[in-house]
Structure 1
Amino acid sequence: MTLNSTSMGFDSCKVEKEKEAVEEDMEARVQGVSSHGGVVDGGARKFLQPLHHQQQPPPPLPPPSPSVQQQAEIGTVPQLLAGGIAGAFSKTCTAPLARLTILMQVQGMHADAAALSNTSIWREGLRIVNEEGFRAFWKGNLVTIAHRLPYSSVNFYAYERYRSLLKSIPGLENHRRSASADILVHFVGGGLAGMTAASVAYPLDLVRTRLAAQRSTIYYQGIWHALRTICRDESFFGLYKGLGATLLGVGPSIAISFSVYETLRSYWHSQRPDDSPIMVSLACGSLSGIASSTATFPLDLVRRRKQLEGVAGQARVYKTGLFGTFGHILRKEGPRGLYRGILPEYYKVVPGVGIVFMTYETLKRLLSNGPLNG
């Protein structure tokens, strides 16, 4: 009887460790969906991972099974490659909804509020098919994919540097084992890394918006043509129109995603502890993405409109700064104008999370034994 009890305890402990490993790995994936096209992806992913270890230090456990050990042995290069491909594939699958979001966000720039009362997702989708063809749903998607590589690389590198710098601060150096200090380091480091990566890769984000916003009249022929034309017509600083709204949205987006995800996850586990960690992470990740999109969508809308200022020599619509632009939209379109295009943004959150997770897990298994996993 004693031997059987010991064996059962050993097996239970082993299963629990595998479950925690999968759950913690999931936490690093599901936060990869945001309303800013990935602006805060890396920061949110990185500070979620250590939280579980700080809250519940695990007791000594037997060696993990080969599948769990294989997960832990994946190297940095395969991890970045798998994450980049998964993100690009997810963006490609949800590109039609992303373009609808952009088109609806910028509709109020050169049209009266009364003329926008009849707009809808289906009407705009039919217009794209009839006037531009079905392939037009993917306008700007190539530059979105190109944006992923520099953004992810800079985000990863900057996060490591900021984290090391923050840990060397005298006030935090004496509280390395404190859960609150650790959360602060990951939160601030993730936010700073997201802002740095967004600044470096921002010209590609602006080009993506302008390519996606083009309708029947084509002014920019491609990525390089758009970059050269913007620099020629609007100077080099024209590549950074709307950057202020982007940076202002990084912190709130990370904070909301983190808070909602952790709150929902803890409550779910307390009510239904036997549910699959994968299902819990997908559901909580989707809901946190929706909450973050709702809170920061006005900033994203202002960013898109500032990015389109002066396109093809058109007169400027918003001649004031960030807050003046908010006031202009409220006066002309009312509070609903700040949420123009929110529905297609909602629709792409859940499939985006699922596609990223499934693609990442598949590629991780394929690359774990590859030559890059050194």
Structure 2
Amino acid sequence: MQTEERVGVVVEGVQSILNAGHGSDEGGVHSVMQQQQRSLPEKSQNGAMSHALAGGLAGALGKTCTAPLARLTILFQVQGMHSDVATLRNVSIWREASRIVGEEGFRAFWKGNLATVAHRLPYSSVNFCAYEQYRKCLKMIPGLESHGEYMSTDPFVNFISGGLAGITAASTAYPLDLVRTRLAAQTNVMYYRGFCHALQTICRDEGIFGLYKGLGTTLLSVAPTFAINFSVYEMLRSFWQSRRPHDSTALVSLACGSLSGIASSTATYPLDLVRRRKQLEGAGGRACVYTTGLSGTFRHIIQTEGFRGLYRGILPEYYKVVPGVGIFFMTYEILKALLAGSTLG
């Protein structure tokens, strides 16, 4: 019955167009088609801008809220570079947090956060915008177009789109990521006085390619991280909404985002640890610790710190990703809906 009513409405609409044309049927239909064709690029452009803006703001907010835990994670990850094993055994999250407050002050938990926000705005904007565009492109590939409206529940498409989006975003904003890592890793010795000073010093000491130190490891890390993030998030959200369609969108996004963050962090943490250490090679004029490639770096860490060394700092990482990724996806969904509504209005 509903289908018949919709068909009747469409027929009446077409008839009114033809009648308005006073006999010029072809001219009326042609003008309507032209208007629709002109509106498609505008809608696509507005949609891409909404995704980019919502993603950028979501990334900046999520990182700012979890900046203290993010800094603790980085400090734990890089401790094995210039510390002996005996010292590492006595480190705990509470002791390290107390040291930061006592030696550097409470505001030091947000050290490098300005660089983080400067990095996350373009990084998350490109990430979410690229993710949506890659999904649309994959939908056009023969063999995948049949998924149609079920595209958002297709794990393969979301996995590939998330990985490609992560690579695109990381390549675009990588120098900003390296700078914020070095700022956050500083403790008592302030070699870099700020964001701009860090950029100038790295270019002076290490050359322009110093800004891309560790890029290969980063791409190997972010591709599976975002592939798992997006695919697990979309799968959990679709499953939740199919069972409980009336639950709050914010609550669903927060819970599913947190679970997807745990899954991706567990799977890719060793790569993330290695990329952080690669980014800090030669920082502050120190000698390089890892002179071999990726496999040699893994081997060196296992030999000097044991297999557990690959997961150094995983606990504060979990504390960080549960609220961080949850806030990230929740803010993105809310802002995307609000921006889409204002665009339609």
Whether TM exceeds 0.5 here: the answer is yes
Q: Counterpart of 1:173 in 2: which secondary structure?
A: coil
Q: Which runs of 5+ in 1 are unaligned?
A: 1-5, 8-73
| Paired AA for residue 54 in structure 2 | A
CA shift for structure 1 position 276 = 2.4
Aligned residues: 300
| Alignment partners' CA distance in 2, 1:290 and 1:164 | 27
TM-score of the aligned structures, taking structure 1 as reference length: 0.70
**Structure 1 counterpart of 2:67, from 89, 95, 104:** 95
**Structure 2 counterpart of 1:339, from 298, 301, 311:** 311
Q: Which moved more, 1:312-321 or 1:273-282?
A: 273-282
Contact 1:163 1:185 in 2 (8 A): yes
Change (3 A) 1:219 1:352: same
**Which residue of structure 1 lines up, in the alignment, with residue 31 of structure 2?**
none
Q: Does 2:191 correspond to 1:219?
A: yes
| Alignment partners' CA distance in 1, 2:286 and 2:313 | 23
Q: Does 2:276 correspond to 1:276?
A: no
CA shift for structure 1 position 240 = 1.2
| Alignment partners' CA distance in 2, 1:173 and 1:161 | 17
Q: Counterpart of 2:81 in 1: which secondary structure?
A: coil
| Paired AA for residue 199 in structure 2 | L
Q: Does 2:146 correspond to 1:177?
A: yes
Q: Trace 1:15-30 onto structure 2 (pairs within 5 A).
A: none
| Alignment partners' CA distance in 2, 1:124 and 1:318 | 25
TM-align CA RMSD: 3.4
| Alignment partners' CA distance in 2, 1:364 and 1:269 | 18
| Alignment partners' CA distance in 2, 1:360 and 1:154 | 13
| Alignment partners' CA distance in 1, 2:143 and 2:321 | 40
CA shift for structure 1 position 243 = 1.2
**Which residue of structure 1 lines up, in the alignment, with residue 169 of structure 2?**
197
Contact 1:108 1:116 in 2 (8 A): yes
| Alignment partners' CA distance in 2, 1:213 and 1:226 | 12
| Alignment partners' CA distance in 2, 1:266 and 1:260 | 10
CA shift for structure 1 position 302 = 0.3
| Alignment partners' CA distance in 2, 1:263 and 1:364 | 19
Q: Does 2:204 correspond to 1:232?
A: yes
CA shift for structure 1 position 368 = 6.0
Q: Which runs of 5+ in 2 are unaligned?
A: 3-45
Q: Which moved more, 1:159-168 or 1:340-349?
A: 159-168
Contact 2:161 2:227 in 1 (8 A): no
Change (3 A) 1:201 1:259: closer
| Paired AA for residue 336 in structure 1 | R
Which structure has the larger Rg? 2
| Alignment partners' CA distance in 1, 2:331 and 2:241 | 26
| Alignment partners' CA distance in 2, 1:138 and 1:314 | 24
Contact 2:233 2:260 in 1 (8 A): yes
**Which residue of structure 1 lines up, in the alignment, with residue 257 of structure 2?**
285
Percent of residue pairs bearing the same amino acid type: 69
| Alignment partners' CA distance in 2, 1:253 and 1:117 | 28
| Paired AA for residue 219 in structure 1 | Y
| Alignment partners' CA distance in 2, 1:356 and 1:161 | 19
Q: Does 2:223 correspond to 1:247?
A: no
| Alignment partners' CA distance in 1, 2:301 and 2:192 | 27
CA shift for structure 1 position 235 = 1.2
Change (3 A) 1:230 1:283: same
**Which residue of structure 2 lines up, in the alignment, with residue 118 of structure 1?**
90
Q: Cα deviations across residues 262-304 of structure 1 (Å, max 9, x unaligned)?
A: 665576678x647725444433321221111011111010000
| Alignment partners' CA distance in 2, 1:178 and 1:267 | 17
| Alignment partners' CA distance in 1, 2:110 and 2:285 | 25
| Paired AA for residue 209 in structure 1 | T
TM-score of the aligned structures, taking structure 2 as reference length: 0.75
Change (3 A) 1:336 1:280: same
Contact 1:230 1:236 in 2 (8 A): yes
More relative contact order in 1 or in 2 (CA 8 Å, sep 6+)? 1
| Alignment partners' CA distance in 2, 1:166 and 1:283 | 27
| Alignment partners' CA distance in 2, 1:358 and 1:252 | 21
**Which residue of structure 2 lines up, in the alignment, with residue 257 of structure 1?**
229
Change (3 A) 1:225 1:180: same
Contact 2:60 2:117 in 1 (8 A): yes
Q: Cα deviations across residues 315-372 of structure 1 (Å, max 9, x unaligned)?
A: 11001011100000000000111111111111122322453456556656765676x7
Q: Trace 1:1-374 onto structure 2 (pairs within 5 A).
A: 75-156=47-128, 158-159=130-131, 162=134, 172-173=141-142, 175-178=144-147, 183=154, 184-258=156-230, 260-261=232-233, 264=236, 273=244, 276=247, 278=249, 279-356=251-328, 359-360=331-332
Contact 1:256 1:288 in 2 (8 A): yes
| Alignment partners' CA distance in 2, 1:265 and 1:358 | 11
CA shift for structure 1 position 130 = 0.9
CA shift for structure 1 position 149 = 2.6
